[in-house]
A and B are shown apart, each in its own frame.
Chain A
Amino acid sequence: MNLDIYDFYEKMEKSNIMLSFKGEVTSELLTSILQIMENKMENLEESPKLRRKVYNILVECLQNLYHHIDHEKNGASDSPNKSAVFMIRKDGEAYFIITGNYIEANKIDLLKGKLEKINSLSKDELKEYYKEVLNNGEMSDKGGGGLGMIDIARKSGQKLDFNFLPVNNNFSFFSLNIKVSPN
């Protein structure tokens, strides 16, 4: 297969992609990405308020990828694929953080239920739900506390825009598209 790099470039340019990554998400990668985005937003002279919102939401999105990636066995080589993808783009005044990763089919219902619950809540109800989960004394061995998605919804002020794309019997591809506006 011939890879048309110019085609990639043009698509990214037209979609205003500021940064994109596909691969294994490591702690060092997160540190670098956060540093790069901080510099970019500073150069663009974004307001401190928008910078903080984008930074906070980016941390949660990327750490979700870091903690929760499920491995899809690649049919051809049978090698585990720990890759995730994420993109950050800017459209007008708003930033979009888009992530994609494999999820085991048997975990979809639980996650979907949680995301739908978050989307059904008002701003005040989300605040109460956050406090409830914060104080429930549970902490996963991965260090997450089940607060990430609630926090993303609260800070972005938007409903969570997500999708599960079935890949095969065992895996789907989970994607999340978060809009972060200045107001």
Chain B
Amino acid sequence: MESLNIEGSAKTPTIKFEPATGKLLIRGRSIPENSIEFYKPLVDKLEEYAGSPQSSTNVDIQLEYFNTSSSKCILDVFKKLEAINAGSSEVVINWHYEEDDEDMLEAGEDYQAIINVPFKMVEMEEE
């Protein structure tokens, strides 16, 4: 299964997913007007990965901004991860936020309350 590499832009995040190591990274800004189209390749890839996942799957979410259109797509991604976690892979979602960004921390906690996957809240120091 091939890796997925999407380069970031002014409105969309960098996405790196390596099925061979079970590592997923989403980093940057996610504020496209239509996010369904943008997240479809990742959702499809995770669907495929769910068939034969690694024993552990490590997810890093490092978003600076995301709009509400993206928030439903991110939930879809997490629901795929929830299914993978319920199967044969142990999933951890590392939710990164800048040290004084309470809104981003709270957004992570909102997902944590909905999704049955272990979350780690990771505070980053500001540059």
Q: Is B6 located at the chain interface by the 8 A CB criterion?
A: no
Our pick among B69, B71, B101, B113 for the contact of A63 (Cβ within 8 Å) is B69
Cβ distance A157 to chain B, nearest Cβ, rounded Å: 10
Which residues of B are found within 8 Å of A143, using beta-carbon distances? 32-37, 69
What is the interface of chain A mostly: helix, strand, loop, or mixed? Answer: helix
Q: Are B36 and A48 in contact (CB under 8 A)?
A: no
Q: Is B86 located at the chain interface by the 8 A CB criterion?
A: no
Q: Are B10 and A145 in contact (CB under 8 A)?
A: no
By the criterion of a CB under 8 Å from any partner CB, how many residues of chain A are at the interface?
Answer: 32
Q: Which of B45-76 contact A (CB under 8 A)?
A: 65, 67-69, 71-72, 75
Which residues of A are found within 8 Å of B37, using beta-carbon distances? 143
Q: Are A56 and B65 in contact (CB under 8 A)?
A: yes
Q: Are B11 and A31 in contact (CB under 8 A)?
A: yes
Q: Are B110 and A144 in contact (CB under 8 A)?
A: no
Q: Produce 1/0 per residue, A127-144, CB < 8 A to B.
A: 100110011000100111
Q: Is B7 located at the chain interface by the 8 A CB criterion?
A: no
The answer for the CA separation of A34 and B33 in the assembled complex, in Å, is 13
Q: Are B33 and A147 in contact (CB under 8 A)?
A: no
Q: Produce 1/0 per residue, B9-40, CB < 8 A to A.
A: 01100000000000000000001111111000
Q: Is A60 located at the chain interface by the 8 A CB criterion?
A: yes
The answer for the CA separation of A142 and B7 in the assembled complex, in Å, is 24
The verdict on A35 contacting B110 (CB below 8 Å), with A63-B69, A139-B36, A151-B68 known, is no
Q: Are B31 and A59 in contact (CB under 8 A)?
A: yes
Which residues of B are found within 8 Å of A145, using beta-carbon distances? 68-69, 71-72
Q: Are A134 and B65 in contact (CB under 8 A)?
A: no
Q: Is A79 located at the chain interface by the 8 A CB criterion?
A: no
Q: Are A127 and B110 in contact (CB under 8 A)?
A: yes
The verdict on A131 contacting B114 (CB below 8 Å), with A35-B10, A59-B31 known, is yes
The answer for the CA separation of A145 and B66 in the assembled complex, in Å, is 13
Which residues of A are found within 8 Å of B101, using beta-carbon distances? 48-49, 52
Assuming A55-B65, A134-B75, what are 18 further A-B pairs, CB within 8 angstroms?
A27-B33, A31-B10, A34-B10, A35-B10, A49-B101, A52-B65, A53-B103, A56-B65, A56-B67, A56-B103, A59-B31, A59-B65, A63-B67, A63-B69, A131-B110, A139-B72, A144-B69, A145-B71
Which residues in A have some Cβ–Cβ distance to B below 8 Å? 27, 30-31, 34-35, 48-49, 52-53, 55-56, 59-60, 63, 66-67, 127, 130-131, 134-135, 139, 142-145, 147-148, 150-151, 154-155
